Amino acid sequence: MKTFPVGGVHPPENKITAGTAIKHLPLPASVAIPVSQHIGEPAVVEVNKGDTVKTGQVIARSKGFVSTNIHSSVSGKVSKIDTILDSTGFRQTAVFIDTEGDEWLETIDRTDSIPAGIKFSSEEIIKKCLESGIVGLGGATFPSHVKLTVPAGKRCDTLIINGAECEPYLTSDHRLMLEKAREILIGTSILMKALKVNKALIGIENNKPDAISQLSGLAKEFQGITVHSLKVKYPQGAEKQLIKALINREVPSGRLPLDVNAVVHNVGTAFAVYEAVQKNKPLFERVVTITGRSVLNPGNYFVRTGTPVRSLIEAAGGLPEDTGKVISGGPMMGKAIPNIDVPVVKGTSGIVLIPRNESERTVIRPCIRCAKCVAACALNLEPYLLMALSEKNEFERAERERITDCMECGSCSYTCPAGRPLLDYIRLGKAIVIKMARKRMSN
């Protein structure tokens, strides 16, 4: 069984919604679509208050290379352009639209056909990704057209499709692989064509045997695509860990997958690329898991971007009485959101409701030097040391101990028997070390 070689933890899976088919969430009365749902420059708003927009219409256009388009997810009238608190806790510009009917752009193919033939060249596919606002749907939301553009001097020979879904609770990728397997495989072929590679590996954790058999059965019809089962171990879905597990290449510290000639895309992204290229449908909806142990009707939904998290929670039977924390994303790396009026965005893979008694941190006890954090670190760093160095403001040493390698997977804090906030301090130290390094570069 393939897996990454060092570290990792086994949090309880809690995949409550694994058997629940994806439904369409009823359209909300209004949406608030943020202009920055991706890493990079926010898009520039193109509509004005009072404008009538159609579903799928561009409402904000990309600015610069690392940026992408934002589309309207509903049809209706722009009520205002204002700021809104997003899932990161910051205010940002959003286009507010009051829903009227659901009139899609005529160019979008809404039939049930699943066209497999790819009519476009590599450049055309990349352009389509930008136009359709495709970003990495695993959570990082890096604009896909950037990732597909192999810079001069670099070479790519392998595409990896990430279906690990190693975060507890989340099942959006799992359901998508079951229900849209053919679309994902066509999307994978499109990505292969864009990258000009003839080999693609789909990695799936083996707690999803149905998805593995579904995809590997269909993959026989597609040239160059193979499906691989991976050991269940967090963070199996981390880009560098996945590359190591599947093709045994180790991305050097501080470098990108392309440095080992590989590119990783999420299964959700492959599906979005399929829709954008074959059906002309921009990215304005995605699968979101709404779950939690106290949730009445947990499930998986196709949700339009800009839909308030509140609507999703209502569809799942309302906010449980005991809710102490609402997480956008998974419980290991997701963000706790400040209120439930935060809009669902391209990167929202799930909403997890955590009961109050589980939402509070435990008492911080002294480090007993058990080395469990060192054993848990998938990058073989020493979290106890990095925390101590951050606490003592010894940032030069922290840099030498490679604090910037940390991907913030949270395995160290998860595993610490003394309940120490290792990752909090590492984040702090990492931010300061990065700032120091930038300053050094500019001098």
CB 226 to other proteins: min, Å: 18
Span near other proteins by CB under 8 A; candidates 29-37, 135-143, 309-317, 326-334:
326-334
171 contributes a contact to other proteins by CB under 8 A = no
Phi-psi domain of 56 (left: phi exceeds 0; alpha: psi -120 through 50; beta: other)? left
- Amino acid identity for residue 93 in this structure: T
Residues 126-165 that bind other proteins (CB under 8 A): 157
Q: Given candidates 382, 394, 404, 436, which one binds other proteins under the rule CB under 8 A?
A: 382
Q: Of 318 and 419, which has the nearer Cβ to other proteins? A: 419
Encode 103-141 in three state secondary structure.
CECCCCCCCCCCCCCCCCCHHHHHHHHHHCCCECCCCCC
Pick from 326, 344, 398, 433 the residue near other proteins by CB under 8 A.
Answer: 326
Distance in angstroms between the alpha carbons of the first and the last residue of the chain: 49
The three-point CA angle 292-269-411 to 5° equals 50
Q: How far is CA 19 from the centre of its chain?
A: 21
> Applying CB under 8 A, which of residues 356, 392, 435, 438 lies at the interface with other proteins?
356
Window contacting other proteins (CB under 8 A); options: 105-113, 137-145, 204-212, 349-357: 349-357
Least distance between other proteins and beta carbon 204 (Å): 22
Q: Judged by CB under 8 A, which of 109, 359, 394, 436 binds other proteins?
A: 359
386 scored as a contact of other proteins (CB under 8 A):
no
Nearest CA to 245 among 202, 182, 284, 212?
A: 202
Half-sphere exposure (Cβ direction) of 349: Cα atoms closer than 13 Å: 31
Radius of gyration of the chain (CA): 21
For the CB of residue 36, give the shortest distance to other proteins in the complex, in Å: 20
Q: Does 101 bind other proteins (CB under 8 A)?
A: no
Distance CA 102, CA 55 (A): 7
Per CB under 8 A, the list member of 24, 154, 369, 435 interacting with other proteins is 369
406 contributes a contact to other proteins by CB under 8 A: no
Stretch in the footprint of other proteins (CB under 8 A) among 17-25, 96-104, 213-221, 330-338: 330-338
Instruction: Looking at residues 187 to 226 of the shown chain, list those that interact with other proteins (rule: CB under 8 A).
Output: none
Evaluated on CA atoms 88, 89, 95, 99, the torsion sign reads positive
Nearest to 176 by CA among 146, 204, 135: 204
Residue 249: CB minimum distance to other proteins, A: 5
* Contact flag: residue 372 with other proteins (CB under 8 A): yes
Q: How far is CA 413 from the centre of its chain?
A: 21
Least distance from other proteins to the Cβ atom of residue 385, Å: 8
332 binds other proteins, rule: CB under 8 A: yes
User: Under a CB-based contact definition with an 8 Å cutoff, are residues 278 and 340 in contact?
Assistant: no
385 binds other proteins, rule: CB under 8 A: yes
Between CA 351 and CA 289 the distance in angstroms is: 6
Is there a contact between 285 and 303 (Cβ–Cβ < 8 Å)? yes
Return the residue of 354, 398, 403, 433 that touches other proteins, per CB under 8 A: 354
- 21: buried, middle or exposed (CB in 10 Å: 19+, 13-18, 0-12)? exposed
In the region spanning residues 224 to 263, those forming contacts with other proteins, defined by CB under 8 A, are 240, 244, 247, 249-255, 259-262
Q: What angle do CA 436, 440, 443 make, to 5 degrees?
A: 140
Q: Which of residues 415-434 bind other proteins (CB under 8 A)?
A: 415-419, 423-424, 427
Please select the residue that binds other proteins; options are 11, 79, 118, 280, rule is CB under 8 A.
11
Which CB, 76 or 334, lies closer to other proteins? Answer: 334
- 33 to each of 83, 135, 314, how far by Cα in Å? 10, 15, 20
For residues 139 and 143, which CB has a smaller minimum distance to other proteins in the complex? 139
Judged by CB under 8 A, the residue of 83, 213, 223, 362 near other proteins is 362
DSSP state of 170: -
